[in-house]
Amino acid sequence: MKAAIYTLYALFALKMPTPLVALIMIGALTSSADDLQALKAAAGRYVAAIKVVLALPKTTDCWDTSTKGSEYAAAKVEYYQAARREMPALLQLVKGEKTDSGYGQDLIELFRGFGEDDDQEATTMLESRLRRCGFSVESLRAWKAIEDARQSAERFLNDFRRLQGA
């Protein structure tokens, strides 16, 4: 629990854009598990998509790279949409209105070892491989999906920081 609160402090006090840290924060919420199932499910899919991308062999063809890139982007967008729906609870946590809960250990375990660096590595790897694919329809769709996902994450984090400061 202390680690989740420390991570939360680092995220907002230092204004570090860490996309997966928001899920670790949920470990400290007092909301019931049922209220956060969609966020937990989206988080699981996002982590799984990151793992798949990071495990892609260097010999993966353009079609598979594009497909995995689009799946990764969709999971990232889904995660941030779910986090946006839970923004009121996240804001309560940041403002200290909710600080104690036994719920969330499974989310913490899910994300142990995954965070901003892994997300950035997955994005960079996909962009590098897609660059080599040229301008096929599939690779262009994947490029757009990855960029849309990046923007979705940035919007959420910016909105969250703005509301947190209000």
- For tokens 């590098």, name the residue: 128
pLDDT of residue 138: 93
Exposure on the CB side of residue 157, measured as CA atoms within 13 A: 19
Specify whether the CB–CB gap between 36 and 29 falls below 8 A.
Answer: yes
pLDDT of residue 22: 47
pLDDT of residue 5: 34
pLDDT of residue 94: 60
pTM of this prediction exceeds 0.85: no
pLDDT of residue 160: 80
Token readout for 46 is 């996002």
pLDDT of residue 129: 94
Phi-psi region of 104 (alpha: psi -120 to 50; beta: other; left: phi over 0): left
pLDDT of residue 86: 82
Query: Which of 114, 112, 113, 98 shows the shortest CA–CA distance to 35?
Result: 98
**Low-confidence residues of the chain, pLDDT below 50?**
1-34, 99-100, 102-113
